[in-house]
């Protein structure tokens, strides 16, 4: 059955339709660790449930649970809750609502079966994954962060923390969550008796990470309940001090939501203050990088002159160059690693 449960409309058409739509949508994320005996059957079931209420987004399903980032028509939120609650372990689950929401976060519904709902690289049989750290709300997190011996650790990737992070946080220079866990444990070897405060976007990465840190011998481990998204909501609603500076990177079409007014990063092409992530318009590059409005105009929304030159070519010439194994920044650098400062290589089309 599952081969029929896909949206096969062209990606560009879907994006155009979303941008033109006047329908108000609400962006939501949620996760739950649970024992799912048949992930493929479960995947097909929730696809049907969510498709009926016009849910768009990206959902991963595994034997260990579900991880979802979606948008729902605001007028159908109640019906979405009813659909969600048909799954017993999703009843009364915490939903993280986006802080800065344009309603243009996703353009289609994608549900994939994975080995894990987050690629953590851990052998779950080696330790008790349910023995996670103490969950903190925003007020509790702020109070503990004030302690001079507290160690605040960002469990996200470098391109996420580059545009926003908590004050005084350790921000590991890593590309993947899988890579970060052993690096962080090694970095903090002399702080096993200190309070370790972990945070991520919506809380899911910290569930496993905090259990791993306790397994590695850390005595006093905490995690921000609901992550940055829930923290920002509580800070706003309760009038608390906001200890997060900059933007919260999100994995949807928005690529970020502003938590504070500070801009802590720079345009990768000219070096001026900027925290707007984008993907290179050349689909054969598509590298994620930070670009200001002026450079977007100069480079025609590409990461380099080379990509801008290529994007402007007729399709026949593009195919000819691809057959010559032409390389772009997206094939040479990982997300956010490419710094275009001073690099204006042109495309050789002779």
Does the active-site annotation cover 200? yes
Token pair for 342: 């001073």
Tens of pLDDT, residues 282-297: 999 999 999 999 999 9
Q: Along the chain (350 residues), what's the average pLDDT of each consecutive run of 10 residues? A: 54 63 88 94 96 95 95 96 96 91 84 91 78 96 97 96 97 88 91 96 92 93 96 96 97 91 95 96 94 96 93 91 87 79 60
Beta strand 244-248 with 151-154: parallel, antiparallel or unpaired?
unpaired
pLDDT of residue 180: 87
Q: What is residue 2's predicted lDDT score, i.e. its pLDDT?
A: 45
User: For residue 3, what pLDDT is reported?
Assistant: 44
Separation CA 272–CA 61 (nearest Å): 41
Please name the residue that has the structure tokens 């009926």: 52
pLDDT for position 122:
77
Half-sphere exposure of 256 (CA within 13 A, CB side): 25
- Find residue 113's DSSP bridge partners: 61
Please pick, among 200, 267, 303, 307, the residue that the annotation labels catalytic. 200
């Amino acid at each position: 059955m599952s081969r029929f449960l896909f949206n096969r409309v062209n990606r560009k058409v879907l994006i155009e339709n979303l941008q033109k739509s006047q329908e108000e949508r609400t962006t939501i994320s949620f996760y739950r660790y649970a024992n799912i005996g048949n992930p493929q059957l479960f995947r097909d079931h929730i696809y049907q449930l969510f498709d009926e209420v016009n849910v768009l987004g990206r959902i991963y399903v595994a034997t260990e649970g579900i991880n979802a980032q979606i948008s729902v028509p605001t007028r159908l939120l109640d019906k979405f809750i009813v659909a969600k609650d048909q799954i017993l372990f999703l009843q009364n689950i915490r939903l993280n609502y986006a802080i800065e929401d344009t309603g243009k976060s996703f353009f289609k519904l994608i549900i994939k079966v994975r080995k894990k709902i987050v690629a953590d690289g851990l052998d779950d049989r080696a330790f008790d994954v349910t023995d996670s750290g103490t969950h903190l709300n925003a007020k509790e997190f702020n109070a503990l962060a004030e302690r001079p011996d507290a160690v605040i650790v960002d469990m996200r990737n470098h391109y996420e923390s580059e545009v926003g992070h908590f004050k005084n946080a350790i921000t590991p220079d890593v590309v993947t969550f899988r890579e970060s866990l052993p690096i962080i444990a090694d970095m903090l070897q002399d702080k096993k008796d200190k309070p370790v405060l972990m945070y991520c976007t919506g809380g899911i990465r910290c569930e496993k990470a905090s259990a791993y840190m306790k397994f590695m011998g850390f005595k006093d481990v905490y995690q921000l309940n609901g992550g940055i998204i829930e923290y920002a909501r509580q800070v706003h609603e309760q009038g608390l001090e906001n200890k997060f500076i900059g933007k919260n990177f999100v994995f949807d079409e928005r690529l970020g939501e502003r938590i504070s007014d500070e801009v802590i990063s720079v345009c990768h092409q000219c070096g001026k203050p900027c925290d707007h992530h984008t993907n290179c318009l050349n689909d054969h590059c598509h590298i994620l990088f930070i670009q200001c409005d002026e450079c977007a105009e100069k480079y025609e929304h590409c990461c380099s002159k080379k990509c801008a030159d290529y994007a402007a070519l007729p399709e026949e010439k593009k195919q000819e160059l691809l057959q010559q194994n032409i390389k772009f920044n997206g094939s040479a650098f990982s997300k956010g690693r490419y710094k275009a400062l001073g690099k204006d290589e042109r495309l050789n089309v002779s």
